[in-house]
A and B are shown apart, each in its own frame.
Chain A
Amino acid sequence: DVKVTQSSRYLVKRTGEKVFLECVQDMDHENMFWYRQDPGLGLRLIYFSYDVKMKEKGDIPEGYSVSREKKERFSLILESASTNQTSMYLCASSLLGTGSYEQYFGPGTRLTVT
């Protein structure tokens, strides 16, 4: 069974803290994605990676960085958390291919920055 796991379901951090969100997939997928989900805005892509050590900026990369040292693991880093980064963060993975493959999602991390 396909599985994407995220390190935390709920996280509360203070403004200015460095925050790490971890995502692991067990499907040997090449592509991995980080999204944030806010009501009325749908999903917005922060970063994605199509290979180890490769990364591409999405629509809203400001204030975030990512790391992909191993194929199965994709980390999202908030260098200095701010209150406007309070959101639901979703990780996803997919096969590489032609872009016709569906994405598989983790359960999400609800981050609150106070």
Chain B
Amino acid sequence: AQSVAQPEDQVNVAEGNPLTVKCTYSVSGNPYLFWYVQYPNRGLQFLLKYITGDNLVKGSYGFEAEFNKSQTSFHLKKPSALVSDSALYFCAVRDITDSNYQLIWGAGTKLIIKP
């Protein structure tokens, strides 16, 4: 069965430090992988995606993510955190061989950036 795990409910980082939000996945075929962010009282916003090609994907607001097929991971990273990055982050996956259009979502990780 397809699944996504975000092993940390919450990540705390000091402003200016690098941040990592972890995501691992399980699909039977090759994955499409996505990261979304949700600011308080807002809908989700797309950050970046991996479809094919370069394993390092760059997205909005200075975020990037690295696809690691052997470790089935797609961790979200940023070199220098901002207080405004504090939000809820969701990882999602779709098996490209799956005939439906569903994304499988992680439970979310709350990122708190402290000044």
Which residues between 23 and 81 of chain A lie within 8 Å of chain B, taking CB atoms? Answer: 31, 40-45, 48, 50, 56, 58
Tell me whether B22 is interfacial, beta carbon within 8 Å. no
A40, closest chain B residue (CB): B107
Interface string of A79-114 (1 = CB under 8 A from B): 000000000001010101011101111111000000
Residue A19 at the B interface, CB < 8 A? no
The minimal Cβ–Cβ distance linking A26 to chain B, given in whole angstroms, is 15
Q: Which of A50, A96, A103 is B46 in contact with, Cβ under 8 Å? A: A103
Contact in complex: A98, B43 (CB < 8 Å): no
Instruction: Given A40-B107, A106-B43, decide whether A58 and B102 contact each other with a Cβ distance below 8 A.
Output: yes
Size class of the contact patch on chain A: 20 to 34
B90 near A31 with CB under 8 A, answer no
Choose one: A56, A98, A99, A105; the contact of B44 (CB below 8 Å). A105
A31 and B107 contact, CB distance less than 8 A? no
The listed residue with most A CB atoms (<10 A of its CB), out of B43, B101, B102, B103, is: B101
- Expressed in whole angstroms, the Cα–Cα distance for A50 and B102 within the complex equals 11
Stretch of B11-19, B61-69, B74-82, B92-100 lying at the A interface: B92-100
Smallest Cβ-Cβ distance to B43: which chain A residue: A105
Q: Which residues of A contact B105 (CB under 8 A)?
A: 42-44
